[in-house]
Amino acid sequence: MPNLWIKNARVIDPANKRDAVGDLFVRNNRIVPRLTPTERKRAKVMDARGLVASPGLVDVHVHFREPGQTHKETIATGTRAAAAGGFTTVVCMPNTSPPACTPGTVQYINDVIERDAVIKVYPTGCITVDMKGESLAPIGSLKRTGVVAITDDGDCVQSNELMRRACEYALMFDLPIMDHCQDHSMTRGAVMNEGVVSTRLGLRGWPNAAEDLIVARNIILSTYTGAHIHMQHISSANAVELLRRAKSRNIRVSAEATPHHLALTDESLGTYDPNFKMNPPLRTEADRQALIAGLKDGTIDIVATDHAPHTDYEKDKEFDYAPNGILGSETALPVTLGVLLREAKMKLPKIIDLMTRRPAQLFKLPAGTLTEGALADICLFDPDEEWIYDAAAGFSKSSNSPWHGRTLTGRVKTTIVDGRVVYDGRRIR
């Protein structure tokens, strides 16, 4: 591959506190401080005037559905959608068919990643066998196969004793636990947030307490064992406050918020559109504001998409019977910018930090920086370009998005992985 010279960009690199108009140089797939005059003459030049150049975005919560659910998504299509959204590194969840609870299944996923992925993908393994919450998966063997965390995402471990033992093993093998915080006994048959809107729509409500109880449980177990527990897609104002207090005591807990929970509320469900149905459900405006405040003060550590593809025939059902989940990869950056930059008035470098350095640091991934010598994973985007999102024309195999047909502001123009352009604003290379 030729050397690369990106000119005139606003370079934002939170890891090095860099925010200035300037150039980036790539030699042999890595960031370098400069190219020689001879190298500049032969380099591929990209004029990025008016664009932001940031580290490639990092998403620690995606569902690529392979193996076993390839009618929804594959590693090939999922990584293409992620690349179009500016992501160069993602962490995929283990709730596949079969679940990634054995070294053999994780190795299969790794083999497909090596063959089909256009960006970097790191697998997770299950906490329990077949995600049934009854017995622990072989955590040490999963670690040796390359998982970067363990989680029963989608099926929160209900047994406190089993979760305690999982924490002890995770600490032993230096793995974070990612937990989907949901007390199942409080959510059976529930399809949306419990409150005024669910009463008006006649839909069974899902109380905040179902999340809050498990967040509190995890804080206690992290205190007791010393394990790092990461709370996935936090949605409740009460959960944010629990985490804030835990962090003030230096407990090893972390949390993520999704773009859709930052941007939408349960009022969006008035038309019974199943593309607004997700787990955890969209909550109230007060909850949404609490998430924004949590990101501002560091209580919530990162933004992650929970990219969850479903086919049109699965989603096109009565609201009660449609599956939870929406696409997130291609719209994450503009939606997040719309909320945090334009509404909440956060500084752009801090927002980029939430989607690059911080997630990489939390999960010890070699990503999220433009430091000299780092692999050249770069996202070029225009923070001000308006465009209409067409989910059916996207790179995912599915099209279940609440943003379909909406005008978004902020668009990825180029995604570079290891110094190679994999997305040029129109197509995957």
CATH of the domain at 17: 2.30.40.10
Say what the pLDDT of residue 405 is.
97
43 and 68 part of one domain? no
Which member of 212, 301, 306, 353 is catalytic?
306
62 and 166 part of one domain? yes
Say what the pLDDT of residue 1 is.
77
* Torsion angle in degrees (nearest 10) through CA of 408, 410, 414, 418: -110
Is residue 164 domain-resident?
yes
Q: What is the CATH number of the domain that holds 186?
A: 3.20.20.140
Is residue 399 domain-resident?
yes
Is residue 428 domain-resident?
no
266 and 386 part of one domain? no
* DSSP E strand boundaries for 141-243: 150-151, 177-179, 192-193, 205-206, 229-231
72 and 197 part of one domain? yes
- Cα distances from 333 to residues 285, 330, 341, 409, in angstroms, run 21, 8, 11, 9
Say what the pLDDT of residue 263 is.
98
**How many CB atoms are closer than 10 A to CB 318?**
9
150 and 276 part of one domain? yes
Name the residue range of residue 12's domain: 4-52+374-423
Structure tokens at 185: 């006994």
Give the residue from 310, 332, 362 where a domain finishes. 362
300 and 380 part of one domain? no
112 and 34 part of one domain? no
63 and 33 part of one domain? no
39 and 102 part of one domain? no
Q: pLDDT tens per residue, the chain (429 residues)?
A: 789 999 999 999 999 999 999 999 999 999 999 999 999 999 999 999 999 999 999 999 999 999 999 999 999 999 999 999 999 999 999 999 999 999 999 999 999 999 999 999 999 999 999 999 999 999 999 999 999 999 999 899 999 999 999 999 999 999 999 999 999 999 999 999 999 999 999 999 999 999 999 999 999 999 999 999 999 999 999 999 999 999 999 999 999 999 999 999 999 999 999 999 999 999 999 999 999 999 999 999 999 999 999 999 999 999 999 999 999 999 999 999 999 999 999 999 999 999 999 999 999 999 999 999 999 999 999 999 999 999 999 999 999 999 999 999 999 999 999 999 999 999 998
Q: Which of 376, 408, 388, 380 is nearest to 1 (CA)?
A: 376
**CA–CA distance, 182 with 191 (Å, rounded to integer):** 13
- The number of distinct structural domains making up the chain is 2
For 241, list phi and psi in degrees, rounded to 5.
-65, -40
Is residue 367 domain-resident?
no
306 an active-site residue? yes
**CA–CA distance, 340 with 350 (Å, rounded to integer):** 10
**CA–CA distance, 70 with 112 (Å, rounded to integer):** 12
40 and 134 part of one domain? no
Is residue 429 domain-resident?
no
37 and 140 part of one domain? no
219 and 313 part of one domain? yes
Is residue 65 domain-resident?
yes
Say what the pLDDT of residue 374 is.
97
